[in-house]
Structure 1
Amino acid sequence: MTPRTFQLSAGDLEATVEPAFGGRVTAFRRSGVDLFVPVAGRRGDPAKAGAGGCFPLVPWSNRIRDGRLTHDGRIIELVPTETGGSSAIHGHGRRISWRVLGDGGTSSVRMSYMFPAGEEGWPFSYVADQTVSLSEDALSITLSVENSSSSPMPAGLGLHPYLPRTPEMGLWFSAASAWPPVDGKLPSGPEPVPSELDFSEPRPVVLGLDQGFGGWDGSVHAIWPEHGVGLGIHGGAALGHLIVFTPPDRDYVCLEPVSHCIDADNLAARGVAGTGHRLLEPGERLAVIVRFQVEVF
C-alpha cells in the first residue's frame, strides 16, 4: 500500500504532510515560494531522510552525548543515531512511521505512534501525538508525549524546520543566554550572549553556528527581502530554548524551538542550571504548540 500523503491548502499557503515518513512536513510554501526547504528524492526509510521540511523532536531534541545518560542512579545506553558520530540524536519520532488518527481534509491531519520500552535502548514506553494544521496565514503544529511507563521518564519536545537560506536573509530573536559548543558540538553550560550573536535586532544570518540559546522569549523571525515575505516561529512557555544551525556549505538555516538544551539530561545530572530538563511522571503528558506565521510586506 502506498503511504498516504496529505496536501493541505488555505488561501495562498500549501503544505505537504507525510505521516509514514517520520511524521514530517515535507513542503510548506506561499504562492510558489518555499518557506521550508522541500524534501527531494524518492521516499524510503525515514531514518535516512535528508535535510528538508520540518520533523518532530520527541522524546528529546538534539544530542545525548555518546548515547549515554544518567537516570535514577543508573546509566542508560542508547543506540547511537548521529551520522558519523557517537551521540543519540533527535529522538525517535523522525525515524518512525506515524499512524493517522484524524483526517481534516485540506486543513489538518492528526497522527500518533506508541513506543515500546527497550527499543533502541530507551527503557520507557510512551505515546507521541502530533497535529499539523493550516490556516490562511500560518502552519501550526501541536506535539505531545505521554509517559506510559510505570516510572518517571526524562522527556523533551521540539521541532526541526529547514528554512531556505538566501543572500539577503535576515534573522531576529531575543534570548537571555548562549550555550556554545565547547566539546565538539556539545555545550557545558550557559554564557552571556556575545555581541556578535545578539539577534535582538534584525541582522544577516551568521554562518557556522550549531548551538543553542536559553531564556528564549518564544519568537524568532526569518525574513527574505528578495521575496517580500517573512516567517515568524512562535512557541509557548514550554519551549524555552532555541537551537540555531547555519552550516556555511548548505543552502538552509535551521531554527529549532525546543524545550531543553543540547545534552540536557547529562548537564542537569552535573548540576548545570537552566537546561530545561524535566521528568514526566507515569501518565503525565507534555504538549507544545508552534505556529509558523507567514508575514508579508
Structure 2
Amino acid sequence: MSHPITLARGAVSAVVEPAFGGRITAFRHGDTDIFSPIPADGSRDLASPAACGCFPLVPWSNRIRDARLHVEGETVDLAPTELPAGHAIHGHGLRRIWEAESDGTTLRVHYAHEAGVGGWPWPYRAAQVIVLDEDGMTVTLSVLNGGEGAMPVGLGFHPYFPQTAGTRLTLPVATSWPPTEAEKFPVAGGQPVPPELDRREEGPVPMGLDQGFGGWEKTARIAWPERGVALTMTGEGPLDHVIVYTPTHGKYFCVEPVTHAIDAANLTETQGVADTGHAILPAGAEFSVSLRFIAEVI
C-alpha cells in the first residue's frame, strides 16, 4: 500500500503518503489546513521534497556537521544530504518509501534499514503509528535497533505550518541553543532564553530563526485568529528539545519537537556539552516518542 491514504474522524482528516517518505501531507480541521499543504507544483522527489505537511525524523534530527558522526570513540562518515554545505540532515525516514497497513482511522507505516546504507552502519526498523480521533491526531514514532551492538538514536517530528500576519505562538522552553552567525550549529550548551524569543506567554512568531531550544515542557499552541482555528501539540517520551525554523519569506514556519539538540552526538562526544539529549540504544531495544495534535475552532 504505497498510494496516498486518507484517514478521517469527525471534523478531523489527514492524508499520509507512504511512498513520499512516510509524510503526512495534509492535516485538516473541516476544510481548514493545519499543516501547510503540498503545493500543486510541489516536488515529491525523495531527494528534494517540497516543504509541506509533517515528516518523521529518524534515526536523528536536524544536522550532523560535515556528515561526520563521532560516537563512542569512533568516527562514522555518512552520506551528505544537505548540499552544497555537505552536512547530513534529518535522518533517513523522509527519503524512504514506507510500507503501510490501515483500517481507516489507524495507520501503521514502517521500513527496515540495512546496515551501511547511506553510511549508517547500524541496522534498524522504524515505524509510525498514526491514529485519528474526533479531536485530533496522535503520531507515535519508534525505532528498533536490529543490530548486535549499540547505536546512537534520535527521533522527532517536522511539521510545516501556515504563516499569517496574525499567527500567535505559545512555546514554553527553558534554554536557548543559538547557532553562531556563520553556521547553523550551536557551539555550547543551553543558555537563558532571550526576552525577544520567550514565548511562555502567547506572542507573534519570531522570524528569522533556525535554531534549537531545550527544556521543552512538551506543550505548544499555535493560533490563527483570522482563520478561526488553533492547534495544541503535546509530546510524550523524551521530546525535551524543539527546533524552531521561521524563514523570513513568511510562507510557513516549523516548530519541531525532537529528542536532542542539533549535532547532539558531536557536541557530547567531542566537546563534552551536557543536556544535548544524545542517546545510545542497546542492541534489540526500542526507542519511541508520541506527539498529539489537537485542533480547535476559536
Partner residue of 1:66? 66
Q: How does 1:59-208 map to 2 (within 5 A)?
A: 59-100=59-100, 102-105=101-104, 107-182=105-180, 183-188=182-187, 189-208=189-208
State the Cα distance separating 1:69 from its structure 2 match. 1.3
State the Cα distance separating 1:117 from its structure 2 match. 0.6
Q: 5+ residue gaps in structure 2?
A: none
Segment of structure 1 superposing worse, 43-52 or 150-159: 43-52
Partner residue of 1:13? 12
Question: Cα RMSD (Å) of the superposition?
Answer: 1.3
- Indicate the SS of the match to 1:47: coil
> Which structure 1 residue ranges, 4+ long, deviate > 4 Å from structure 2?
none
State the Cα distance separating 1:44 from its structure 2 match. 4.2
State the Cα distance separating 1:43 from its structure 2 match. 5.9
Counterpart Cα distance in 2 of 1:27 and 1:75: 38
- Indicate the SS of the match to 1:226: helix
Asked if the contact 2:168/2:203 (under 8 Å) is kept, the reply is yes
State the Cα distance separating 1:197 from its structure 2 match. 0.6
Segment of structure 1 superposing worse, 272-281 or 187-196: 187-196
Counterpart Cα distance in 1 of 2:73 and 2:120: 16
Asked if the contact 1:57/1:157 (under 8 Å) is kept, the reply is yes
- Indicate the SS of the match to 2:109: strand
Partner residue of 1:295? 296
Counterpart Cα distance in 2 of 1:274 and 1:236: 18
Counterpart Cα distance in 1 of 2:7 and 2:89: 29
Letter in 1 for 2:154: G
Counterpart Cα distance in 2 of 1:6 and 1:85: 35
Asked if the contact 1:218/1:237 (under 8 Å) is kept, the reply is no
Asked if the contact 2:44/2:50 (under 8 Å) is kept, the reply is no
Do residues 22 (structure 1) and 34 (structure 2) align? no
- Indicate the SS of the match to 1:127: strand
Counterpart Cα distance in 2 of 1:3 and 1:236: 28
- Over the matched positions of the two proteins, sequence identity in percent amounts to 48
User: How many residues align structurally?
Assistant: 294
The one-character-per-residue Cα deviations of 1:237-281 (angstroms, maximum 9, x if unpaired) are 410001100001140010000000000000011110010000000
Counterpart Cα distance in 1 of 2:94 and 2:107: 16
Counterpart Cα distance in 2 of 1:44 and 1:62: 20
Asked if the contact 2:122/2:147 (under 8 Å) is kept, the reply is yes
Asked if the contact 2:42/2:50 (under 8 Å) is kept, the reply is no
Letter in 2 for 1:171: L
- Indicate the SS of the match to 2:66: helix
TM-score normalised according to structure 1 size: 0.96
Asked if the contact 2:169/2:221 (under 8 Å) is kept, the reply is yes
Segment of structure 1 superposing worse, 180-189 or 169-178: 180-189
State the Cα distance separating 1:47 from its structure 2 match. 2.6
Asked if the contact 2:43/2:50 (under 8 Å) is kept, the reply is no
Letter in 2 for 1:112: H
Partner residue of 2:56? 56
Letter in 2 for 1:66: D
TM-score normalised according to structure 2 size: 0.96
Q: 5+ residue gaps in structure 1?
A: none
The one-character-per-residue Cα deviations of 1:59-101 (angstroms, maximum 9, x if unpaired) are 000000010011221211011101432110000000000011x
The one-character-per-residue Cα deviations of 1:166-185 (angstroms, maximum 9, x if unpaired) are 10000011111000011511
The one-character-per-residue Cα deviations of 1:81-133 (angstroms, maximum 9, x if unpaired) are 01432110000000000011x2112x121011000110111110000011112
Partner residue of 1:273? 274
